[in-house]
């Protein structure tokens, strides 16, 4: 008997997103200062790429909320 297993290989984008999540999960971190230093210490291109990531996250949030709540509202209790 043998078992077929699929290894889940994470993309670079997934790894970066998880790393950003870990860095931002420190609640003692002053996010306004992080934004200040991000804009001040990095080239403009890096700052624009960071704002692009944030706007993409804002766009995806309602879609992800809808997917998360789909199973909840499809329960027989709500029908």
**pLDDT tens digits, residue range 3-30?**
555 567 889 999 999 999 999 999 999 9
Q: How far, in Å, CA of 72 to CA of 31, rounded?
A: 33
- Helix or strand run (H / E) with residue 31: helix 31-41
Quick check: pTM over 0.85? no
User: What's the pLDDT band for 54 if we cut at 50, 70, 90?
Assistant: very high
Q: What is the mean pLDDT of residues 37-45?
A: 92
List, in order, residues 6 or more apart from 38 with CB less than 8 Å away: 46, 47, 50
Q: How far, in Å, CA of 4 to CA of 29, rounded?
A: 44
């Amino acid at each position: 008997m043998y078992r077929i297993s699929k290894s889940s290989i994470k993309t670079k984008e997934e790894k970066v997103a998880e790393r950003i999540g870990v860095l931002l999960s420190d609640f003692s971190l002053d996010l306004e200062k992080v934004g200040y230093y991000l804009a001040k210490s990095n080239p403009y291109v890096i700052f624009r790429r960071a704002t692009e990531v944030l706007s993409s996250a804002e766009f995806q949030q309602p879609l992800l909320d809808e997917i998360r709540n789909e199973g909840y509202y499809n329960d027989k209790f709500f029908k």
